[in-house]
Amino acid sequence: MSTPETLKKQTCTSHCPCGTYCPLSAALSLIGGKWKIPIICALKQDGPTRYNELKRKITGITNTMLASSLKELESNGLICRRQYDEMPVRVEYSLAGPAEDLIPVLSQFALWGKQMHDQAAPAARE
């Protein structure tokens, strides 16, 4: 497993009042971007999943984005890439331990989002 470069030097990009190293910014950067969360959700729901399977399930994602997102997630230790040298090649991605730990946090987050939504427009339900 390679060393997560992004984590080492994350310092709130020096705009955050919380000192030199900000674990919050660091955490956010790990799941930032447009596709990381959807990927994590998909892997959480369905377990080990192949590349093209992911591409089908995550509506709208392109090869470029899927490949690069998977690479980042893997290099940060959030997902595992397992390659079976069959013919043709088979590659499966799955959530790694740290990502599993993240799930409950994301759930809390989603819960908060839901509360926001419900109390914001209790009547204006459409």
Question: The dihedral of CA 73, 76, 82, 88: what is its sign?
Answer: positive
117 lies in the binding site for DNA (CB under 7 A): no
Nearer to a copy of itself, 77 or 85 (CB): 77
Output b/e per residue, 87-111; b: 16+ Cβ within 10 A.
eeeeebbbbbeebeebeeeeeeeee
Beta carbon of residue 115, minimum distance to DNA (angstroms, whole number): 24
Nearer to DNA, 88 or 122 (CB): 88
The rounded distance, in Å, linking the Cα atoms of 96 and 80 is 6
Beta carbon of residue 65, minimum distance to DNA (angstroms, whole number): 4
Q: Which stretch binds DNA (CB under 7 A): 19-27, 62-70, 97-105, 109-117?
A: 62-70
31 lies in the binding site for DNA (CB under 7 A): no
Nearer to a copy of itself, 68 or 115 (CB): 115
The rounded distance, in Å, linking the Cα atoms of 35 and 33 is 6
